[in-house]
Amino acid sequence: MDSPDALLKKLNLTLDDLTKEEQEYYLSRLKTISNMEVSLSDVRKWIRGSLNAIELELADTPETETFFFGLFHRPNSKHIALKARMKNYLMQESFIESPQKARQALEQSLSSIK
């Protein structure tokens, strides 16, 4: 954020419009937010948690839907969407881990030279 007043300006407020307690809380939250950093391990944990949630939901979703008194079956669109989300998260995870895997492969190949 550019300045402490940037968010307040979006809401058509000024720092003077807030009470003393609100000002202290607002400034402390801004300080906390500005110090936050997202690390690569945080992203990995988030992706892994998302994958686990999708796996659980996918296990509870039938692959096909029946219609017209159970005579016909068609693919369940929710099941297809969950599989697509899962594939996206798996690709993101492999993209994040690819430099680490490449480094490990290089170390392994170098260690076999000795």
pLDDT in tens, the chain (114 residues): 457 677 888 888 888 888 899 888 888 888 888 888 888 888 999 999 999 999 999 999 999 888 888 888 899 999 999 999 999 999 999 888 888 888 888 888 888 876
| Residue spans per domain, the chain | 5-35, 40-113
| pLDDT for the residue 2 | 59
Whole-angstrom Cα distance, residue 114 to residue 110? 7
Structure pTM?
A: 0.61
Lookup: tokens for 100? 């680490």
Which class for 111: exposed (0-12), middle (13-18), buried (19 or more C-beta within 10 A)? Answer: exposed
The H or E element spanning position 91 is helix 77-113
| pLDDT for the residue 58 | 94
Residues ≥6 apart with Cβ < 8 Å to 86: 51, 54, 55, 58
